[in-house]
Amino acid sequence: MAKSTFQQFLETEQKFPHNLCIRFEQKKLTYHQFLLRVRSTAKKLVALGVKPHDVVTVAIPNCFEAAELFYAISAIGAISYNLHPLTPPEKLKHYMDFAGSKLLFCLWNVAYKDRDYFPSDYQVVGINPYIHVNGIKSSYFRAMGKKRPGLLRYDKLPKAHEFEVYTPEEKEDAVYLNTGGTDGEPKVVRLSHDAINYLGSVSYHLIGGPYRDIKLFTVIPLFHVFGLGMGLHTPLSFGGSTVLMLKFHPKAAIQEIKKGHTNTLLGVPAIYNAILSKKEFYGTFLKKQLVAYVGGDNVPQNLIDRWNDTMRTFDSDARLYVGYGSTEAMVSNVNTLGHRSRKGSIGRPQPGMKNKIVDPVTGKTLPPLTPGEICIAGPMIMSGYLHDEAATKRTLVPDENGEIWLHTGDYGYLDNDGYLYFRQRLKRVVKVNGETLCPADVEAAVLQMPEIYACYVYGVPNERKGQVFRVAAVIRHGKDAVSEEEAKRLIFARIRAALPPAYQPDKVIIMKKLPRTGVGKIDIRWFEEHPDPEAEGLDR
């Protein structure tokens, strides 16, 4: 019989009521204390009129309330629609109307703007994440917010006397998450309780160590599948704990590590780069770290090497492992931990998950070592896209045996032993003189340079060749710093030395920083809209 994400958490609480469950700032909650908060929140939702299958929009960063809302919404059978907390009101209303939601939870300091924007039949609830946690920060939030008629305060919401714990049907929707889609067009992914629970139940081995020792640092936001699935639900499915941070700051994150509040890291490559760039990160305290996990974006080999070399220096076993997935397939359905590791590969599938490579045009399954579109099957894939049957049918395709395969839109290959090698998004493939080439190959070459901190490579139209490569790079500060002109010269020389002539870019642009999304990924759409940021004066 199916069970909700709340029921899976409840099973864990019944086994380990006194285990550490969640830390936010300096406040800690055991499983039993957190369960009491979840039950209280569920009663508030019932009092607001929320019923099973209603959609509740949550646009807040990582804090106690974000976690308890996820489980409370599940407990009463509603659907959680998790959105970026800085989404403008006009966009929020567009998303909510599309999903059929009229209840919004957002931060108190911006809630009054949303209350002014939304019609009176929408309910807007403002949250102060620091109340009863940090008095100074709580006062700041109160001062930044304003009261409005009809604006509700989370801490003042009335409660129903009781609620009935909801048991879902098989494959029933639990969460909606926004995504760029496997074809690059924005969509809303429907994830079932079964898919999220499966990730939580099989991912214990990814984190390692006795459950009571796991203190997983979740700086990936809970409106992202990586943060929600691996950062929150996975540790809370086996008795571990999660450490939440409202907004990622490298030095604050390093302090959490130094104090021993966390021993297991979870992040996208930009987060690890930021931490490694701080001198405060290096010290004997790293010996207490257990494991580190990176995903959500292309992971350069030099990042893995830099991290692992640092851990060896300080006698730590916390190697950096790679996970691969997508919003449509949860996350970490492929990983490199333990026997799944092979240099250059992103690993082998989790138990119950499968991979194959198909020709992106014909859909025919390709043999090992032949690149094509990566496809995934198994219990973690999405139920479909909300209100978009055509896109769902293009993406979830049954094979001759009736098994459903998710066509990821990613380009890669399998070796003879079933190890998966990711190259990049199919949409990012660049065709130079008719030859299909990968920007990721150029990025890998450039990121080996000690002078370069970050880079992004993309294709631009070219009248003679069809397309050519273009490089946007950020110079590393410190002892390896060079001038912009020298950096450009070195990048051109590096690409000439490392790759065939077709990979030579038409231009190298040095930027102060690369534009990124709310979860730290490079903002591909920004470069699509601004193919020559230097000419537009956007490289500063």
Domain residues for the domain of 354 are 187-424
- Mean pLDDT of all residues in 238-258: 93
Instruction: List 328's β-bridge partners, or say none.
Output: 330
The verdict on 363 and 454 lying in the same domain is no
Amino acid letter, residue 325 = G
Q: Give me the CATH number covering residue 217.
A: 3.40.50.12780
Residues 6+ apart with CB under 8 A from 358: 364, 365, 366, 372, 373, 375, 407
The verdict on 346 and 213 lying in the same domain is yes
Q: 3-class SS at 193?
A: helix
- Mean pLDDT of all residues in 453-462: 90
- Domain boundary at 391, 424, 457, which? 424
What integer pLDDT is reported at residue 103 of this predicted model? 98
Report d(CA 410, CA 357) in Å as an integer: 10
The verdict on 149 and 208 lying in the same domain is no
Mean pLDDT of the chain: 90
pLDDT band at 338 (very low <50, low <70, confident <90, very high): low
Report d(CA 376, CA 395) in Å as an integer: 10
End-to-end Cα, the chain, rounded Å: 56
Report d(CA 360, CA 413) in Å as an integer: 12
Q: Tell me whether residue 508 is exposed, middle or buried, using C-beta atoms within 10 angstroms of its C-beta: 0 to 12, 13 to 18, 19 or more.
A: buried
- Mean pLDDT of all residues in 267-278: 88
pLDDT band at 429 (very low <50, low <70, confident <90, very high): confident
pLDDT band at 340 (very low <50, low <70, confident <90, very high): low
Within a domain: 343: yes
H runs (alpha helix) in 236-290: 250-258, 269-276
Within a domain: 170: no
Instruction: List 405's β-bridge partners, or say none.
Output: 397
Span of 71-75, 127-131, 179-183, 266-270 with lowest mean pLDDT: 179-183
The verdict on 333 and 442 lying in the same domain is no
The verdict on 125 and 194 lying in the same domain is no
Report d(CA 117, CA 122) in Å as an integer: 10
The verdict on 382 and 521 lying in the same domain is no
The tokens for 185 are 């067009």
- Mean pLDDT of all residues in 67-89: 95
CA torsion, points 55, 61, 67, 72, in degrees to nearest 10? Answer: -20
- Domain boundary at 160, 176, 198, which? 160
Report d(CA 53, CA 67) in Å as an integer: 19
What integer pLDDT is reported at residue 203 of this predicted model? 81
C-alpha dist (Å) from residue 515 to 87, 178, 429, 508, 530: 17, 19, 20, 16, 11
Within a domain: 169: no
The verdict on 339 and 444 lying in the same domain is no
| pLDDT per residue as tens digits for the range 200-233 | 988 876 665 556 688 999 888 898 888 999 999 9
Report d(CA 270, CA 227) in Å as an integer: 15
Report d(CA 477, CA 411) in Å as an integer: 33
Q: Which residue has the tokens 């019932």?
A: 46
Number of domains the chain is built from: 3
The verdict on 44 and 62 lying in the same domain is yes
- Mean pLDDT of all residues in 417-435: 79
Residues 6+ apart with CB under 8 A from 62: 24, 218, 219, 221, 222, 227, 244, 245, 246
What integer pLDDT is reported at residue 273 of this predicted model? 86
What integer pLDDT is reported at residue 179 of this predicted model? 82
Q: Give me the CATH number covering residue 497.
A: 3.30.300.30
Report d(CA 496, CA 490) in Å as an integer: 10
Report d(CA 285, CA 6) in Å as an integer: 35
What integer pLDDT is reported at residue 1 of this predicted model? 67
- Domain boundary at 404, 424, 444, which? 424
- Mean pLDDT of all residues in 458-475: 89
The verdict on 282 and 418 lying in the same domain is yes
Report d(CA 437, CA 316) in Å as an integer: 38
Within a domain: 46: yes
Report d(CA 154, CA 82) in Å as an integer: 17
Contact 21, 243 (CB under 8 A): no
Within 10 angstroms of residue 317's Cβ, the number of other Cβ atoms is 12
pLDDT band at 519 (very low <50, low <70, confident <90, very high): low
Within a domain: 366: yes
What integer pLDDT is reported at residue 158 of this predicted model? 97
The verdict on 221 and 257 lying in the same domain is yes
Which DSSP string do the residues of 446-493 spell out, in sequence order?
HTTSTTEEEEEEEEEEETTTEEEEEEEEEEPPSTT---HHHHHHHHHH
Within a domain: 182: no
What integer pLDDT is reported at residue 39 of this predicted model? 98
Q: 3-class SS at 429?
A: coil
DSSP letter assigned to residue 531:
S
- The sign of the torsion formed by the CA atoms of 459, 462, 467, 468 equals negative
- Mean pLDDT of all residues in 232-252: 93
| pLDDT per residue as tens digits for the range 96-123 | 999 999 999 999 999 999 999 999 999 9
| pLDDT per residue as tens digits for the range 14-50 | 999 999 999 999 999 999 999 999 999 999 999 999 9
Tell me: pLDDT of 502 over 90.
no
Which DSSP string do the residues of 100-111 spell out, in sequence order?
TEEEEEEEHHHH
Report d(CA 325, CA 331) in Å as an integer: 4
Q: Tell me whether residue 410 is exposed, middle or buried, using C-beta atoms within 10 angstroms of its C-beta: 0 to 12, 13 to 18, 19 or more.
A: buried
